[in-house]
Amino acid sequence: MSPSDAVLGPIARAGVGGTSRPNVSFEFSPPKTPEAEVSLWEAIRRLEPLDPTFVSVTYGAGGSTRDRTHRTVLRMLKETTLRPAAHLTCVEASRAEVDEVITDYWNAGIRHIVALRGDPPGQIGGAYTPRADGYRNATELTAGIKAIGDFEVSVGFYPHVHPESPSLEHDIDVLKAKIDAGATRAITQFFFDLDGFLRTMETVRKAGVTIPISPGIMPVTNFKGLKKMAGPIGIQLPAWLANLFEGLDKDPETRRLISASVATELCARLAEEGFEDFHFYTLNRAELVYAICRVLGVREPVPAAEVAA
């Protein structure tokens, strides 16, 4: 079997790339430098024609990027056709401060917020201690958002048991509480253990959760960087993935090909299992995500003049 058969086989079986178009969403991060801002907007413009369901903009640990997140989301709203969703967390802020941010978003025309508990400043995956005058968790934050405006609210969910949770049943109870508070969609952290994810989703659905759940897809070309991201948040990386990238530190082109293959096959197998929504962690880069979306059948509309020709 050729490498292309290995990828395109599950895609063909799932019907992806044909008449059925999956729903995609993209996650971006607010830029830290002028150079990073140029790269971000190049990625945004490249992916915008794919007409994603929404695009989200992250919120740094401890709310460290609050102003940059706000500026990026507002610029998206004013200068693009995208439907931006702003991340919002509970940490290092009082209820009054968070409510002010929510109100500012509503007044600016933002209608979608990704409500997350968040991490302490500079401690991704670190121990969380809520402020006495703040929202204690994402459930309370979701209720607070809905009390201010009729936002669409997305919330996070782990593809396996949360590292701070005693059980999957507890995670499901927390997700149900978020839904009762007004959440309308869940987005999972990225993962590579497909079988484990499918077992989790089967348990979630059997528990009566019916809202859309978008699997988080991380196309990554730097395995060392992936390990740094995955470790603090409790995401396990399978040995087969490490083996694929072994010895390729000085071969970025092959790493890109492998990354595209892994992410595309993951999406194809998810589609084969009935999933229709995919959330891509772009890392503010468009090339891989664009290529994967194209294989999955997510493409920009062909101009009418070209169709006529």
- Of 18 and 192, the structure prediction assigns the larger pLDDT to 192
Q: What is the pLDDT of residue 126?
A: 56
pLDDT, one tens digit per residue, over 221-245 is: 889 999 999 988 889 899 999 999 9
Least confident of 184-193, 209-218, 300-309: 300-309
Residue among 270, 245, 271, 273 at smallest CA distance from 259: 245
The answer to whether the beta carbons of residues 190 and 235 sit under 8 Å apart is yes
Is the pTM here over 0.85, yes or no? yes
Q: What is the pLDDT of residue 4?
A: 44
The mean pLDDT of 201-217, rounded to a whole number, is: 98
Percent of the chain, pLDDT > 70?
86
Q: Tell me the pLDDT band of 129, cut-offs 50, 70 and 90.
A: confident
Least confident of 3-17, 108-122, 165-179: 3-17
Percentage helix, strand, coil for the chain under 3-state DSSP, each rounded to 5: 50, 15, 35
Residue 18: Cβ-neighbour burial (10 angstroms; 0-12, 13-18, 19+): exposed
pLDDT at 56 over 90: yes
| CATH number given to 3-296 | 3.20.20.220
One-letter identity of residue 157:
F
Please list the alpha-helical segments (H only) found in 48-158.
66-79, 95-108, 138-148
pLDDT at 149 over 50: yes
Q: Tell me the pLDDT band of 288, cut-offs 50, 70 and 90.
A: very high
Write down the catalytic residue from 27, 48, 140, 265.
27
The answer to whether the beta carbons of residues 276 and 211 sit under 8 Å apart is no
The domain segmentation of the chain, as residue ranges, is 3-296
What residues pair up with 214 in beta bridges, in sequence order?
187
pLDDT at 73 over 60: yes
Average pLDDT, the chain: 88
pLDDT, one tens digit per residue, over 14-54 is: 445 455 789 999 999 999 899 999 999 999 999 999 999 99
Residue among 88, 1, 69, 18 at smallest CA distance from 298: 18
Question: What CA–CA distance (Å, rounded) separates 210 from 177?
Answer: 13
pLDDT at 12 over 80: no
The mean pLDDT of 155-159, rounded to a whole number, is: 97
Q: Is 246 a catalytic residue?
A: no
Q: Which helix (H) or strand (E) element contains residue 239? A: helix 239-245
